[in-house]
Amino acid sequence: MSIEWAGWSPRLLIALDRDDPDPLRVQLECGLRDAIRSGRLAPGERLPSSRELARQLGVSRGLVQDCYGQLLAEGYLTARIGSATRVAAVCESITPAPTPRLAVDFRSGVPRPGRLPPR
């Protein structure tokens, strides 16, 4: 059970366990997501380059790029060509979408009140 830590910053402690059944990419995504949600990584904070983080963790650069891409798509990170990847300023407002309440009862044989024909 080997555990590796990213040494970029004390706030960026990401554990990767190669014996864990979860893929390394999932572990890295979850680690970064948790660091952002917990406030260890503040909005606007610079993340290491994909090359540097891959080197520190002993993983492929493509794995880190895929992870950064997923977190960009989720709104946790921002990136510009030629500039550092940073924690998104709006990440504080990221919350799971509320579950919509259904106004329809899908059980068979149960008519919806108000939709019955007049007598």
- What is the tally of structural domains in the chain? 1
Note whether residue 111 is domain-resident. Answer: no
Find the CATH number of the domain harbouring 89.
1.10.10.10
pLDDT at 31: 92
Q: Residue 8, class by beta-carbon neighbours within 10 Å (0-12 exposed, 13-18 middle, 19+ buried)?
A: middle
pLDDT band at 13 (very low <50, low <70, confident <90, very high): confident
In this prediction, residue 99 carries a pLDDT of 53
Instruction: Give a yes or no: residue 106 inside a domain.
Output: no
Q: What is the mean pLDDT of the chain?
A: 78
| Domain assignment of residue 24, yes or no | yes
Q: How many residues does the chain have?
A: 119
Nearest to 64 by CA among 48, 46, 87, 76: 48
Position 64 scores a pLDDT of 94
The whole-angstrom separation of Cα 75 and Cα 89 is 9
Is 32 a residue whose pLDDT tops 50? yes
In whole angstroms, give the CA distance from residue 14 to residue 41: 12
Residue 5 pLDDT:
41
Q: Which domain holds residue 10?
A: 3-93
Q: Is the pLDDT reported for residue 29 higher than 90?
A: yes
Average pLDDT over residues 47-74: 92
In a domain, 98, yes or no: no
Q: Tell me if 108 is assigned to some domain.
A: no
DSSP string, 71-84: HHHHTSEE--TTS-
